[in-house]
Amino acid sequence: MSSKLNDSRLLLSFSGKLGLHQKIFLISICLSLGLGKWGAWIGIPNLGIFLIDVMFFSSVFIYSFGKRTEAKYPRTISIIVLLFISFQFIRSQNMPFPLVLRDLLPYIYLVSLPFQIDLIRSLSWKDLISIMRLGVLINLIWTIPITIGILKPITILSSYFGVPIFTSRYDLTGIILSLGILVFGNFRNYGLRSSSTLRLICIALGLLQSSRAATIAVLLSLLFVISQSSWYQKRRIIFWSSLVLTILICTVSIFPNVFESLTSNSSLTRFGLIGDNSFLTQSANSTSAARVRAAEKLLTWFDNQDQLLMGVGPGIEMVQLSGAVANLSGSVEVRAPHNWFIGLFVRYGIVGTIIWVGVVLHGFYLSRNARNWLWRVEILIICLVAGMGVIIESPFGSLPFSFLLAITFTQRER
């Protein structure tokens, strides 16, 4: 268990001499993973301008300006997606610009794929993995006290922070933790050492946060790590992971008053492993049933719109108009149906769904001969969680997803 964290010089610094745009790109990745939901909303929310997005797009586009990429097909993808985005903007002229921009963000990130690929090619794996490790580490530092109830979200400068500081979205947290389990693995061939301790912390936090989908994401990452390990490592990982789970269940169960926030909110509770199982099972089933009903309402409403080919478009409050919001949270701020693929189909129809899915599958096709399935596994995990939460359609999820997708396009070259 006691393997040391990679030397700080490798974790906190970049190898070699990197240009300004390369550093800004890496920093934007780090901040996106490290700050999560509230970090994605730092900027001028009323105008739809966000700091991390600005850093990210400025770095990839300016760095690649005038360069000729070897990956010709991704450029073709960008042209197709750009035409699709232009059409969606034209058809949504009567809608608020920030809402239209936010809804189209997943496609805007797809436009940047060939530029991301160019920039990723210029970086070493040591830089990429180190910056992901650092982002996960930053996320752990503030998420742990939030989870156990020591720290609370702070509302400050609401004009520049779209949500309170330290606001955690736990389906996103699960994605970040699952990535942490993968990148804190053994990368000795890149001059990096693994950290079993931090991996165990990611596993423990994945069990304690409230999203069941997030816990499933963490467990899937763990299963992948186990499948890729030697027999000795398999026994070691299984032993320590089981020990962590046992200690968590026993500690929280024995001291329910001390860990009140965990006994009422953690996924261990929602799965019925601790606390009042009958009540928790009923609550969990109610949540699942409500989301199914919300999806049914949205699809029924969509069927009456006669927009099967192109969808209802960005900016439209489809969750409110369909009445699905009543089964989600009842808040008028909810704009996603908690299922990315249903939301994708309703908002952009057959054409938009084919474009988005086609880009993702093409990345898998290009990396079909790659030895390392790590990045594709993480993309599959994100897609699974997106079918149960709010990830890809949100500003805080589009950036890391597109970054990992861009990495798959470079797998055949690495």
Question: DSSP states of 336-385 as a string?
Answer: S-S-HHHHHHHHHHHHHHHHHHHHHHHHHHHTTT-S--HHHHHHHHHHHH
Per residue in 112-145, pLDDT (tens digit) is 888 898 899 888 888 899 999 999 999 999 998 8
The whole-number pLDDT of residue 160 equals: 80
CB 74 within 8 A of CB 117: yes
The whole-number pLDDT of residue 381 equals: 93
The whole-number pLDDT of residue 328 equals: 81
Cα–Cα distance for residue pair 414/411, rounded to 1 Å = 5
Question: What mean pLDDT is reported for the chain?
Answer: 82
Q: Which of 5-19, 145-159, 225-239, 305-319 has the highest mean pLDDT?
A: 305-319
CA dihedral 73, 78, 83, 87 (to 10 degrees): 140
Kindly report the number of other CB atoms within 10 A of residue 392's CB atom.
26
Write out the E strands in 25-72.
43-44, 49-50
DSSP string, 129-179: HHHHHHHHHHHHHHHHHHHTTS---B---TTTBSS-BT---HHHHHHHHHH
Least confident of 144-148, 178-182, 279-283, 286-290: 279-283
Per residue in 84-117, pLDDT (tens digit) is 999 999 999 888 888 898 899 999 999 988 889 8
Per residue in 154-211, pLDDT (tens digit) is 887 777 888 889 988 888 999 999 999 999 877 777 777 778 888 888 988 888 877 8
- pTM for the structure as a whole: 0.86
Mean pLDDT of 326-333: 70
